[in-house]
Amino acid sequence: MNGFASAVSHTANDQTEQDEWRDALASLVANAGPERARQILDLLAREGSAPHIDWKPRHGTPYVNSIGVTQQPAFPGDLATEERLASLVRWNALAMVVRANQAYGELGGHIASYASAADLFEVGFNHFFRARHEGFGGDLVFYQPHSAPGIYARAFLEGRLSENDLAHYRQEIGGPNAGARGLSSYPHPWLMPDFWQFPTGSMGIGPISSIFQARFMRYLQHRGLQDTTDRHVWGVFGDGEMDEPESMSALTLAAREGLDNLTWVVNCNLQRLDGPVRGNGRIIDELEALFGGAGWHVIKLVWGSDWDALLAKDTDGALVNTLSNTVDGQFQTFAAKDGAYNREHFFGQNPSLARLVEGMSDEQIDRLKRGGHDMVKIHAAYHAARRVKGKPTVILAQTKKGFGMGEAGQGKMTTHQQKKLDREALIAFRNRFQLPLSDEQTESLSFFKPADDSLELRYLHQRRQALGGYVPSRSQVAAPVSVPPVTGYAGFATAAAGKEMSTTMAFVRMLTHLLKDQALGPRIVPIVADEARTFGMANLFKQVGIYSSVGQRYEPEDIGSILSYREATDGQILEEGISEASAISSWVAAATSYSVHGLRMLPFYIYYSMFGFQRVGDLIWAAADQRARGFLLGATAGRTTLGGEGLQHQDGSSHLCAATVPNCRAYDPAFAGEFAVILDHGMRQMLEQEVDAFYYVTLMNENYPQPSLPEGVEAAIIKGMYRLQGAPDAQVRLLGSGTLVREAQAAAQLLADDWQVASEVYSVTSFSELAREAREVERWNRLHPQATQRVSHVNDCLPKGAPVVAVSDYVRAVPQMIASYLDSPYTVLGTDGFGRSDTRAALRDFFEVDRHHLVLAALTALVEQGSLARQVCQQAIERYGLQAEREASWV
């Protein structure tokens, strides 16, 4: 029998053989070093995975810290002072939330999340989160949203917020009335534009945004626009948050791009809002396998320093085995119980565990910290993360939700909803963190700030000065970028003279010209999901290239073509694959560059309009919150302009969604000249006048003759509508938007030829802009009853008189936005219902938005006004072959 066969014949519990293998590995490490040991283990792993053995390594590592005691750097700060600072911040955060809810029970707020993350943040604030200052752009930090009270509490100690500000937490209306700053519930740049940089309150948005901000920093670096070499992106997120699709969707991109400028800290307090994240498993193990498989460097920060001695004494592995076999639901129970309970139910599971804590009191057992509450361990993890090269890092930090809240909330199922504490709980919290508060101050929830010359505050300011200033902080300082004259890049559109093209084609041509502009061109960021060829942008591949952090390592199949696919490290196009979430995240990174990097960029993200607002609406709201500036272009727009694709590709609702976003200006131009005016206006607003708005413009793939732009209509186009043809004394007024303007023009001709009815035709470039301005005028008039009453643009164009018929390639609710502001009879046609696959003509007949249905609607309006006999409508139905008994499109 050979040696291998002999080894196989041994029983599985042959401890001698197992010890020999362990000794061999230990000897290899001792004599040849860890690097050689890793090489040998990699070799054995390859051999073991051969088909005839079919071995695969287990995912994950033992449930202990990734960084051993001997690998820890010396803690560089004053640990005792930092712990006192963390305790003071904890108290002020708790007092802020509890006071608000004692006064106003409906305000809400969260205590437990920051209680679990306080030390994770404090180490970052004291040693790692660098501020933007002269010559350095600063680090980017994404804050766990439910921890906002703690961030405010620290800003209070820094002197950036007052006690009165804290007293008006979540009172953004009442606060200013009381001479205070109302503090927003979560990080909201729109509401606190000099404080918060990124909105993270919608779970999953922060994680994906942080990845694309880190990637955009590399993009700026590789294109030579800004030196971002030493800047870092930090994200502190929750373990429950990792279940959001957005949290996970770009992990492989971060690894593929080698984003070693990115570190996530996942606060694994093991609880969601209602209970455990993984009650029957271990979320840290799951995340370790997930991130490791995606190519991230994983650092597990599980146990605090007090556990080091216990683990050192664990010679038979009983402690490690027990930790590795205890599920999170049970860990939550242990977190909620005291030292006596943990002695009996955890360490009492077997004699080996019991011996480990024989010399410890119940209080010492109760004080055993999890890794995310130990500043020394946290610093070691952060220090290691900053030195990882070639890949992003995730730190999985185990904490206790509601840490320090004792019986009132630590580890409880209800801890997320805990907003009030009784006297005993407050006193216990004070004692637990040794706060310098009297019983009366504690019970009254007094905010506490040490004297300015105290050791704590002097230390706090020194640390922040060493890191460049205070965070979070947001700046809008960025040098302006000049916009070229519209005639230079869009003269072909404003003076089209009947040349046939689609508005999508016109946009691409304008973009091509703009990219060549010496000042603006380098600041443009073209973005597509995976449809550049569909939108006719393939000519840009060679002109400006597709960004790739590694260049192009292959010879493209179409290398001989003038439109060949070209990737380059200095490429300008961001092509994000089949992922609208990735593309919009890239757009947000570029659209906020003026604030994040002090560099004004102009992103154009073009996509199928149907895959826009409804697919990534949460990210668009986040963009609005952080005051994004750029263009979103909904191409192949409308429900009847994209003939053959059918239901899930035909957009009838994006303009309705866009109208709900306060700083989104949405337009549906019919003609290339109209688009040129909107493009010029938007660029000047965002780049030159620093207006915090972004533009959604729909583009069509339908080719038709483009008229030259009439003189003097530019202002009216921006306001939302202008007269195309006809006289003000017409019998009926027709409004069209997008490609259906041409149906309105055709209907006007039919009304004149077949029914001798004179029409006035308007091109409506934006129903939402018309409605907003009319709403503002209506409000002003209501609040100023004795002043000269103002007239809105829509009423100026459409005064009381002839009936109005509007048609849109979107649901009727879009043109109905202006209905309440009109004094004339108003009829609306739209494309309500599911889309269909067919020709444009068939679709427009089906949705009853073509010229013939417009004629019928106009005649019906005149009948209702008493201007025509009712039989005229029946004659029109018969003349145009309209199907009166067909079911409506929305049935």
Predicted confidence (pLDDT) per residue in 11-30, tens digit: 555 778 888 888 899 899 99
Q: What is the pLDDT of residue 103?
A: 65
The more confident residue out of 859 and 560 is: 859
Consecutive H or E run containing 234: strand 233-238
Q: What is the pLDDT of residue 7?
A: 46
Go through the domains of the chain in sequence order and give each one's CATH number.
79-305+369-467 (3.40.50.970), 307-368 (no CATH), 486-707 (3.40.50.970), 723-880 (3.40.50.920)
Express each pLDDT in 654-672 by its tens digit. 999 999 999 999 999 999 9
For the chain, the maximum distance between any two Cα atoms, rounded to a whole number of angstroms, is: 110
Collapsing DSSP states into helix, strand and coil, what is residue 869? coil
Q: What is the pLDDT of residue 152?
A: 97
pLDDT band at 407 (very low <50, low <70, confident <90, very high): low
Expressed in angstroms, the distance from the first to the final Cα of the chain is 80
The residue behind tokens 């005639």 is 487
Q: Does 683 score more than 90 pLDDT?
A: yes
Residue 476 and residue 597: Cα distance in Å, rounded?
9
Q: What is the pLDDT of residue 6?
A: 46
Residue 546 and residue 535: Cα distance in Å, rounded?
15
Which of these, 795, 758, 766, 763, lies nearest to 778 by C-alpha position? Answer: 795
Q: Give the whole-number percent of the chain exceeding pLDDT 70.
A: 96
Token code pair at residue 395: 């730190």
Q: What is the dihedral of CA 740, 741, 744, 746, to 10 degrees?
A: -90
Cis-peptide into 472, omega within 30 deg: yes
Consecutive H or E run containing 124: helix 112-127
Residue 694 and residue 696: Cα distance in Å, rounded?
7
Check: CB of residue 810 under 8 Å from CB of residue 816: no
pLDDT band at 2 (very low <50, low <70, confident <90, very high): very low
Residue 247 and residue 207: Cα distance in Å, rounded?
5
Q: Does 414 score more than 70 pLDDT?
A: no
Q: What is the pLDDT of residue 409?
A: 47
Residue 830 and residue 849: Cα distance in Å, rounded?
6
To the nearest 5 percent, what fractions of the chain are helix, strand and coil?
45, 10, 45
Handedness of CA 828, 834, 837, 842 (dihedral sign): negative
Residue 515 and residue 507: Cα distance in Å, rounded?
12
Collapsing DSSP states into helix, strand and coil, what is residue 727? coil
Amino acid occupying residue 731: Q
Rounded to 10°, the helix 79-103/423-432 angle is 170
477 alpha-carbon distance from chain centroid:
23
Express each pLDDT in 569-584 by its tens digit. 999 999 999 999 999 9
Residue 360 and residue 620: Cα distance in Å, rounded?
54
Q: Does 883 score more than 70 pLDDT?
A: yes
Residue 196 and residue 194: Cα distance in Å, rounded?
6
Q: Would you mind telling me the total number of residues written for the chain in this entry? A: 891
Check: CB of residue 514 under 8 Å from CB of residue 524: yes
Q: What is the dihedral of CA 783, 788, 790, 791, to 10 degrees?
A: 140
Question: Residue 649: how many CB atoms within 10 A of its CB?
Answer: 16
Residue 591 and residue 687: Cα distance in Å, rounded?
11
CB-based contacts of 611: which residues, under 8 Å, 6+ apart? 529, 580
By DSSP bridging, strand 524-528 and strand 574-575 are parallel
Q: Give the whole-number percent of the chain exceeding pLDDT 90.
A: 81
> Taking all residues of the chain, what is their mean pLDDT, rounded to a whole number?
93
The residue behind tokens 């730190």 is 395
Q: What is the pLDDT of residue 406?
A: 56
271 alpha-carbon distance from chain centroid:
23
What's the whole-number mean pLDDT along residues 213-217? Answer: 98
Q: How far is CA 661 from CA 170, 621, 622, in A?
A: 22, 7, 10
Q: Which residues of 511-542 are buried (b: 16+ CB within 10 A; e: fewer)?
A: bbbbbebeebebbbbbbbbebbebbbbbebbe
Amino acid occupying residue 105: G
- CA angle centred on 384, ends 380 and 385, rounded to 5°: 115
pLDDT band at 104 (very low <50, low <70, confident <90, very high): low
Residue 378 and residue 66: Cα distance in Å, rounded?
12
Consecutive H or E run containing 500: strand 499-501
Q: What is the pLDDT of residue 318?
A: 93
Handedness of CA 276, 280, 286, 288 (dihedral sign): positive
Residue 341 and residue 363: Cα distance in Å, rounded?
11
pLDDT band at 109 (very low <50, low <70, confident <90, very high): confident
What's the whole-number mean pLDDT along residues 737-763? Answer: 97
Residue 680 and residue 659: Cα distance in Å, rounded?
21
CB-based contacts of 730: which residues, under 8 Å, 6+ apart? 758, 759, 760, 802
β-bridge mates for residue 805, sequence order = 734, 827
Residue 79 and residue 451: Cα distance in Å, rounded?
20
Collapsing DSSP states into helix, strand and coil, what is residue 275? coil
Amino acid occupying residue 108: G
What is the secondary structure of 542-606 as a DSSP string? Answer: HHH-EE-TT---S--TTTTSTT---EETT--BEE--S-HHHHHHHHHHHHTHHHHTS---EEEEE
Q: What is the CA radius of gyration of the chain?
A: 33
Known binding-site residue numbers: 239, 269, 271
Express each pLDDT in 127-179 by its tens digit. 999 999 998 999 999 999 999 999 999 999 999 999 999 999 999 999 999 99
Amino acid occupying residue 686: M
Q: What is the dihedral of CA 334, 336, 340, 344, to 10 degrees?
A: -30
Q: What is the dihedral of CA 776, 779, 781, 783, to 10 degrees?
A: -140
Amino acid occupying residue 467: L
What's the whole-number mean pLDDT along residues 732-760? Answer: 97
pLDDT band at 410 (very low <50, low <70, confident <90, very high): low
Check: CB of residue 670 under 8 Å from CB of residue 780: no
Handedness of CA 339, 340, 341, 343 (dihedral sign): positive
pLDDT band at 424 (very low <50, low <70, confident <90, very high): confident
Known binding-site residue numbers for Mg(2+): 239, 269, 271
The more confident residue out of 60 and 144 is: 144
Residue 709 and residue 786: Cα distance in Å, rounded?
40
Check: CB of residue 200 under 8 Å from CB of residue 186: yes
Token code pair at residue 530: 């995976």
Q: Does 49 score more than 90 pLDDT?
A: no
What's the whole-number mean pLDDT along residues 269-286? Answer: 90
Residue 401 and residue 648: Cα distance in Å, rounded?
43
Residue 407 and residue 237: Cα distance in Å, rounded?
26
Which of these, 827, 837, 794, 829, lies nearest to 809 by C-alpha position? Answer: 829
Residue 651 and residue 648: Cα distance in Å, rounded?
8
